[in-house]
């Protein structure tokens, strides 16, 4: 089931460009994992993964076994790392999946994996300061010893995740995490433990600090042409890091109706906004169910015929209204750009995020997965 009145266009050339930018940053000896979890940050799990595979990325990062299964059913063969938690009674499903590695951080998962009649590759997640999943550094050797008791389990990777490298211009906390991680790697070497894929860097770390690259980087938001934050972009500029990101996603709809509304009459639920003149109001068949946030009521904009049109009144579940009085050439089923560029006008995920007091990640990830993703040049 999909909404034919709304669609998302994924630029193959922009995504390929961004992947090449990251490959240039890390060089030929460092692996590149592209995070496609959560429907590829709203861009389309299968669509993005196919383009990533064509660009010879080394890993795809997903959140669940379901996402891994979808990729394999669509004949995508790139190695997969499942980053999210998998319930113990669901691990048996790994029997039917090839070249899928798991992030692990508790002994219960290791015990269950050890009971499977299959070789399993795992990446141990180390807790260095994010306060989420992870093995405490003081427990790492004990955890590895326990894992190695299970002969079908191969520790392929060790990794951690930065807590505060994106939201600040001062990276003291991030460097402290890096030091904890390095000390853990040193501890492994002292105990003659070799792990082939050590990884730490997210998009921001990959761009800003070469010393975070190790054996692999995990690129997420910036592969999709979006900066992790203004602070990351400013730090990159300050450090003279040359990087041009191209937004990959354009979200479109159409006009479902145009009507005349007399001066002083209200628009939408709650009568929260009235027109101050005789107005032409266009109805757009997209709402908060689709991911066009209700917080954009009366403050959002769209692009119609190369001009901005203001959202009027409250965003509804399946539609919202815009003022097209000053766009007189507007007609039924004209194209509407919700996120993207047309001519001189552009509405970015960052603009959405600023108005909603959130981050660009949330804006694109929350575009309803039932909306068609279409690959364009």
How long, in residues, is the chain? 377
| Residues 342/235/221/154 CA torsion (nearest 10 deg) | 160
Q: Determine which one of 24, 54, 96, 269 is catalytic.
A: 269
Annotated catalytic residue 41: no
Give the dihedral sign, CA 172/173/178/184: positive
Q: Determine which one of 37, 105, 252, 361 is catalytic.
A: 37
| Burial of residue 38, with CB atoms counted within 10 A of its CB: 0-12 exposed, 13-18 middle, 19 or more buried | buried
- Residue 177 near residue 163 (C-beta atoms within 8 A): yes
| Burial of residue 284, with CB atoms counted within 10 A of its CB: 0-12 exposed, 13-18 middle, 19 or more buried | buried
| Burial of residue 28, with CB atoms counted within 10 A of its CB: 0-12 exposed, 13-18 middle, 19 or more buried | exposed
Annotated catalytic residue 54: no
Q: How far is it, in rounded angstroms, from Cα 161 to Cα 188?
A: 19
| Burial of residue 274, with CB atoms counted within 10 A of its CB: 0-12 exposed, 13-18 middle, 19 or more buried | middle
Partners of residue 335 on adjacent β-strands: 254
Closest to 291 (Cα-Cα) out of 352, 334, 332, 333 = 352
Q: How far is it, in rounded angstroms, from Cα 252 to Cα 286?
A: 10
Q: How far is it, in rounded angstroms, from Cα 72 to Cα 224?
A: 22
Which residues belong to the active site?
A: 37, 269
């Amino acid at each position: 089931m999909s909404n034919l009145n709304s669609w998302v266009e994924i630029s193959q050339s922009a995504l390929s460009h961004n992947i090449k930018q990251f490959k240039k940053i890390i060089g030929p000896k460092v692996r590149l994992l592209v995070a496609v979890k959560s429907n590829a940050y709203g861009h389309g799990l299968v669509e993005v993964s196919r383009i990533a595979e064509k660009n010879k990325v080394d890993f795809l990062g997903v959140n669940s076994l379901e996402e891994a299964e979808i990729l394999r059913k669509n004949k995508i063969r790139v190695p997969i790392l499942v980053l999210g938690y998998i319930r113990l009674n669901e691990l048996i499903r790994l029997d039917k999946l090839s070249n899928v590695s798991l992030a692990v951080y508790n002994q219960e998962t290791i015990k269950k994996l050890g009971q499977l009649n299959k070789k399993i590759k795992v990446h141990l997640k180390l807790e260095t300061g994010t306060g989420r999943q992870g093995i405490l550094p003081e427990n790492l050797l004990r955890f590895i010893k326990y894992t190695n008791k299970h002969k079908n389990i191969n520790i392929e990777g060790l990794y951690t995740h930065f807590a505060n490298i994106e939201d600040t211009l001062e990276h003291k906390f991030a460097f402290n995490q890096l030091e904890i991680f390095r000390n853990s790697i040193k501890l492994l070497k002292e105990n003659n433990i070799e792990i082939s894929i050590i990884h730490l860097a997210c998009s921001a770390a990959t761009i800003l600090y070469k010393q975070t690259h190790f054996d692999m980087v995990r690129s997420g938001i910036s592969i999709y042409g979006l900066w992790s934050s203004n602070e990351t972009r400013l730090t990159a500029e300050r450090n003279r890091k040359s990087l041009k990101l191209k937004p990959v996603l354009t979200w479109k709809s159409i006009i479902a109706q145009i009507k005349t509304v007399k001066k002083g009459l209200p628009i939408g639920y709650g009568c929260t906004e009235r027109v101050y003149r005789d107005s032409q109001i266009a109805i757009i068949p997209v709402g908060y169910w689709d991911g066009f946030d209700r917080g954009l009521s009366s403050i959002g904009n769209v692009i119609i015929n190369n001009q901005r049109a203001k959202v009027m009144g409250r965003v509804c579940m399946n539609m919202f209204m815009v003022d097209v009085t000053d766009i007189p050439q507007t007609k039924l089923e004209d194209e509407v750009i919700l996120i993207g560029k047309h001519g001189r006008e552009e509405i970015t995920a960052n603009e959405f995020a600023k108005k909603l007091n959130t981050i660009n990640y949330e804006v694109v990830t929350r575009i309803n997965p039932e909306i068609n993703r279409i690959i364009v040049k």
